[in-house]
Chain A
Amino acid sequence: MKLTNRQRENLYGYLFIGIWIIGFLWLTLYPLIMSFVYSLNKVTITASEGIILTNIGFKNYIDIFSTDFNFVNALTTFIGEIFLFVPIIIIMAIIIALILNQKIKFRGIFRSIFFLPVIISSGPMINELVKQGAGTVPFFENPEVTDALSQLPKIIADPILSLFSQMIIVLWFSGVQIVLFLSALQKVDGEIYEAASIDGASPWEMFWKITLPTLKPTVLVSSIYSIVFLATFSSNAVIGHIQSNMFEITKGYGYSSALAWIYFIVISILLAIAFVLFKQRKERKVR
């Protein structure tokens, strides 16, 4: 049998990605649907009949917002942390990338130091460090500073306190982003800077008018990466809460599925905000 070119492309295309499609349907789409179904049910597990679902509508969701203050607290702190940490991560990554992009000696060594945390940070390890107070600069642990902060409303104070208790750890999360920015900087054509300096632009102006705009797509990628990373990092209080509710007799799978869905929606909104903020305006490509 002779295949037309188009049929051939279809056949081989699906042959290569087939295993992923099966996996997606089986291990992502189906669980996604099921977890939504669970979230609308009371899930009881019996030895004889397996899983029994009792439809209770949106009761799980209502219960979460009316009784589960721990979760709501953890979630608002998480949202605050995202708004505080992600800009810090991005700005630090840009600063470090800009420095590393200069002609400096031992550049490779410095680059390796800044990237090192990516290799070693795991939830338990970071927990140990924070417990020891080694995750921050001693200045921020000052009782006067923390006292002054506790005057602020809780929603604002909590993320800031959490930042102060793990200042270095937050910086640690910028390893991948530094490399992304660095490679974006290296792709900028040096001639643009030359032309600008002939026109009398200062380094300051060049940074704001040339460098920063070219970094914009990287800012988007980095902020999405940072948000997803922070959201799924295993020392995160929200996901800890979701897991611990799974095996609580009164709450169980249904309740924690509802928690997970709320979390999913919150993350999606945060990602959408990042997307709207840093999306490149569509420009006509002129060739």
Chain B
Amino acid sequence: MKSLKLKLKKNIKPLKLKLRRILFGMKFTDGLVFKVFIYGLLIILAFVYLYPLLHMLSYSFQSVEDLLNPMVNQVPTKLYFKNYQDAFFVLNCFETMTTSLTVTLIPALIQTVIASLVGYGFARFEFKGKRVWMLLVVATYIIPPQVTMIPRYVLFHKLGFLENALSIIVPATFGQGLNSAIFILIFYHFFKQIPKALDEAAQIDGANPLYIYFRVSVPLSIPSFVTSFLFSFVWYWNETYISSLFMGSKNPTLQMMLQNFVSAYKAAMGGTGEMAVANEAVRMAATLLIMLPMLIIYFILQRWFIEGIDKAGITGE
């Protein structure tokens, strides 16, 4: 009897240890408990992050009956596409899209090119006053646009840039666009990493710096160009504060149409009463329509966005 008990005890101990090993692992972080906890947390967080989007998607397909029906909460009874049609019509999509693209694509392209030139200058040449200028580049990031926008508004008014894409393009051309400083710093860090020996070799062959920049450095920095352009593009697309001031209400961008969607809806749909009020479903459909181009770009090119920041090396050094 006694020996049996002892035997059992002997067997239980390794079993206990094994269980412990499985649950908590060798150093806790590789155990099952930890794994379950981590994945649980991740899934909950991912759901929380996506919740507003799911909400938007489900609402955008609800018809008026679904909206009024208290039984229908999240999932619509059927897919109702008219919301999208209406939203497309109210946003005046083709025309506004053209405005949006002109004040987004062109400044983004120019900003990227200029930022690379300036970043190259800072990374490659030891000129007088370099540190001061670098500091001022960082300062332009910190100065809120609200301080400079009123005099700029007056200036652009004199020059006739207002209500015109030039009011967005010109600052980008001179390196004072949206978050220009970030892009200059990205290129600065990138060009710092290219060994100077490459330049020197070309220099000995008699090439001038502009030639070296275009022929040696630009081809090496294509990834930085792509990332900078993409971020520039996305930020310009989502920017409304400055563009609504400079572009005025005559040439609205898509984002500005969304801002005034309720009144735009009234104007476009005409009539009075129930039909003239934009319900949640149409508003959500409009919001999704505006996000759609960015979502498509993100799904195709997401690697450039995330790895771009990774490689840009603006992580504190």
Contact = CB atoms under 8 A, between A and B. Distances in A.
A interacts with B: yes
B238 A203 contact: no
Interface residues of A, number: 89
Given A12-B209, A243-B245, A110 B46 contact: yes
A132 B38 contact: no
A134 B41 contact: no
Given A27-B152, A203-B28, A264 B144 contact: yes
| Majority-rule SS of B interface residues | helix
A120 to B, nearest CB: 5
B72 interface: no
Contact of A234 (B149, B241, B280): B241
Interface in A104-121: 104, 110-121
Interface stretch (B1-9, B14-22, B76-84, B135-143): B135-143
B151 A35 contact: yes
Interface string B278-317: 0010011001001100110110001001100110001111
B146 A242 contact: yes
A128 B49 contact: no
B128 interface: yes
A24 B140 contact: yes
A52 interface: no
A96 interface: yes
Contact of A263 (B146, B153, B237, B283): B146
Contacts of B50: 113, 116
B42 interface: yes
Given A24-B175, A228-B142, A30 B151 contact: yes
Nearest to A126: B52
B259 A127 contact: yes
B176 A260 contact: no
Interface stretch (A57-65, A67-75, A143-151, A179-187): A179-187
Contacts of A213: none
Interface in B143-164: 143-155
A46 interface: no
B56 interface: yes
B131 to A, nearest CB: 12
B29 interface: yes
Contact of B29 (A20, A102, A267): A102
B59 A19 contact: no
Contact of B127 (A13, A22, A267): A13
Interface stretch (B117-125, B218-226, B267-275): B117-125
Nearest to A36: B147
Interface residues of B, number: 90
B51 interface: yes
Interface stretch (A83-91, A156-164, A215-223): A215-223
Contact of A129 (B56, B140, B306): B56
A120 B291 contact: yes
B240 interface: yes
B114 interface: yes
B147 A243 contact: no
B146 A221 contact: no
Nearest to B115: A20
Interface string B95-134: 0000000000000000000100110111011111010010
Nearest to B28: A203
Interface in B54-73: 55-56, 59
Given A9-B127, A16-B118, A203-B29, A123 B144 contact: no
A59 to B, nearest CB: 17
B59 to A, nearest CB: 7
Given A27-B176, A104-B38, A132-B283, 9 more contacts: A9-B127, A20-B137, A27-B148, A125-B258, A128-B283, A168-B52, A176-B309, A221-B314, A221-B316
16 contacts: A15-B210, A16-B117, A28-B148, A30-B151, A32-B147, A96-B45, A110-B42, A122-B255, A123-B241, A124-B256, A128-B258, A134-B55, A168-B52, A171-B49, A202-B28, A239-B241
Interface of A: 9-10, 12-17, 19-24, 26-28, 30-32, 34-35, 38, 51, 96, 99, 102, 104, 110-125, 127-129, 132, 134-135, 137, 168-169, 171-172, 176, 179-180, 182-184, 187, 197, 202-203, 217-218, 220-221, 224, 228, 231-232, 234, 239, 242-243, 246, 253, 256-257, 259-261, 263-264, 267-268, 271
By Cβ-Cβ distance, the 10 closest A-B pairs, closest first, are A23-B174, A16-B121, A13-B127, A217-B316, A13-B125, A122-B238, A31-B151, A34-B151, A20-B175, A31-B148
